[in-house]
A and B are shown apart, each in its own frame.
Chain A
């Protein structure tokens, strides 16, 4: 059911771990749904020098985390912000329909880590200040909703 690329990134995930004194950290998802992604960034002069991740989740969640970190290392912040879930999926030669939400989570995790970086550096807009980039906090980043994939009940 998974492509060879997905299995490769699942069995040999790139960039597992954390970064001490990271310039940006973003965590999205929740344990209830079975997926949590945490991405750490090292940023200098607007360029992402390093990215690491920790993920609780299925094979697709691990593989999309791994691929997302690969895609953003060496990119500028602007370039990284443009990376969509589709780009992550394409780089993995596709995902089963039921697993598309994992790629959305990867996109959100990058966005959350970059937002954290902007906040730490006083670059965030006023609107962004009240937001942690995680779906559920305000809904504006809720890509799950846009994809109609969020079956999670608000409690």
Chain B
């Protein structure tokens, strides 16, 4: 790699921190034993997995017995929603979620809707917030599960989870939250939140890919998703991914220790970028809540231009970001999140998500701003929409 890449896509994934990788390496080589084996190579790894489970539980304010490892955040979401819906099907078949969930939740709900469940998708306001009153009104006697993400992956808006969870509880439903974007970036405490089920994913907080976890509150019954051996106390089969588990625990412990300083740093970068964009480029709009949002998330729409073109030109300047335009979503429609907050299609097509992280500096933001001014100007010069807006 020649020039340094300015990586502004930490919401997509992060690298594995050197100290995390270092903690993992022995478990690929000399400590390779199957954690279920009876001899020392196995027993030692069982101990290591249990210690990692305790570390993760401590970071989330849970008991170790409430943490179950999965192969991804998507698997944890699948298990939470399918598992709870099926285990409670005799009580009712109504599920509630929001219109802005990650596909790992939305597509699971869609799947269940095809097999006899009814799903209500709660709308969000222009900032991307789910209203507690709207949830209250949607609750029914046959509602068995409410799943609402803690922080949105595209616009960063943070939901009032404790309030929403209390409403679900009062109505006799379980509450699941996908905290994949939140964990490692803001405080996540399962008791404070009052949730029954919570999803995290290792690679979003400088841990490895291919490892996630589901918090299952003591006493909550889930139907099994992955059948097979007796791993994870008979609830989730599959030989333990020991290096992954060790890595995720190390990464979450580090993130939790540095939560405050990390958050302050990202917030400063985001605000600098936001101030620079709004002062130097006309016809822009901030998407998502102005303050109740992930510290490192900045999502802006640039009117009259299209997101994929913007990403390609940023890439040529070695800046990596993402967009909610149709061309990047792989369909003809722009992001469902941006449409749900009420953006017209053409504004949604021109969105850019910048998610800041550990390696970013103020100098990166300066480069970003100069590049954006140049690229947006170039694309607008080419745009028939900009031309007609000027007439």
Binding site for B on A (CB under 8 A): 7, 10-11, 13, 16, 18, 27, 31-38, 54-62, 98-99, 151-152
From B308, which residue of chain A is reached at the shortest CB distance? A58
CB proximity of B382 to chain A, nearest CB, Å: 5
Q: Mark B101-115, 1 if CB is under 8 A from A, else 0.
A: 000000000000000
CB proximity of A109 to chain B, nearest CB, Å: 10
Please report whether the interface of chain A is mostly helix, strand, loop or mixed according to DSSP.
Answer: mixed
In the complex, which residues of chain B have a beta carbon less than 8 angstroms from the beta carbon of A16? 381-382
From B308, B345, B384, give the contact of A59 (CB < 8 A).
Answer: B308
From A11, A13, A61, A152, give the contact of B306 (CB < 8 A).
Answer: A61
Q: Which of B366-391 contact A (CB under 8 A)?
A: 381-387
- Is the beta-carbon distance between A10 and B312 smaller than 8 angstroms? yes
From A11, A32, A55, A151, give the contact of B345 (CB < 8 A).
Answer: A32
Give 5 A-B contacts (CB < 8 Å), ordered by A residue: A33-B326, A54-B382, A58-B309, A61-B306, A61-B309
Q: Which of A10, A37, A38, A59 has the most CB of B within 10 A?
A: A59
Interface check B334, CB cutoff 8 A: yes
**Complex: A60 Cα to B326 Cα, angstroms:** 13
Number of interface residues of B (CB under 8 A): 26
**Complex: A32 Cα to B306 Cα, angstroms:** 11
Q: Which of A7, A18, A57, A62 has the most CB of B within 10 A?
A: A57
Give 9 closest A-B pairs by Cβ, nearest first.
A31-B346, A58-B308, A58-B327, A54-B384, A32-B345, A38-B384, A34-B349, A56-B383, A151-B332
In the complex, which residues of chain B have a beta carbon less than 8 angstroms from the beta carbon of A10? 309, 312
CB proximity of A11 to chain B, nearest CB, Å: 7
**Complex: A58 Cα to B327 Cα, angstroms:** 7
**Complex: A59 Cα to B308 Cα, angstroms:** 7
**Complex: A31 Cα to B303 Cα, angstroms:** 11
- Is the beta-carbon distance between A58 and B382 smaller than 8 angstroms? no
In the complex, which residues of chain B have a beta carbon less than 8 angstroms from the beta carbon of A7? 312
In the complex, which residues of chain B have a beta carbon less than 8 angstroms from the beta carbon of A55? 382-384
- Is the beta-carbon distance between A56 and B312 smaller than 8 angstroms? no
In the complex, which residues of chain B have a beta carbon less than 8 angstroms from the beta carbon of A58? 306, 308-309, 325, 327
In the complex, which residues of chain A have a beta carbon less than 8 angstroms from the beta carbon of B330? 98
**Complex: A102 Cα to B351 Cα, angstroms:** 20
In the complex, which residues of chain A have a beta carbon less than 8 angstroms from the beta carbon of B312? 7, 10, 59
Interface check B363, CB cutoff 8 A: no
- Is the beta-carbon distance between A31 and B327 smaller than 8 angstroms? no
CB proximity of A50 to chain B, nearest CB, Å: 17
**Complex: A34 Cα to B344 Cα, angstroms:** 11
In the complex, which residues of chain A have a beta carbon less than 8 angstroms from the beta carbon of B385? 31, 36, 56
From B306, B316, B326, B331, give the contact of A56 (CB < 8 A).
Answer: B306
**Complex: A11 Cα to B316 Cα, angstroms:** 9
Q: Which of B313, B316, B334, B384 has the most CB of A within 10 A?
A: B384
From B383, which residue of chain A is reached at the shortest CB distance? A56
- Is the beta-carbon distance between A57 and B316 smaller than 8 angstroms? no
- Is the beta-carbon distance between B384 and A56 smaller than 8 angstroms? yes
**Complex: A71 Cα to B345 Cα, angstroms:** 31
CB proximity of A92 to chain B, nearest CB, Å: 15
**Complex: A27 Cα to B313 Cα, angstroms:** 25
From B309, B326, B332, give the contact of A62 (CB < 8 A).
Answer: B309
From B332, which residue of chain A is reached at the shortest CB distance? A151
**Complex: A137 Cα to B308 Cα, angstroms:** 28
**Complex: A7 Cα to B313 Cα, angstroms:** 10
From B345, which residue of chain A is reached at the shortest CB distance? A32
CB proximity of A24 to chain B, nearest CB, Å: 15
From A66, which residue of chain B is reached at the shortest CB distance? B382
Interface check B305, CB cutoff 8 A: yes
- Is the beta-carbon distance between A34 and B384 smaller than 8 angstroms? no
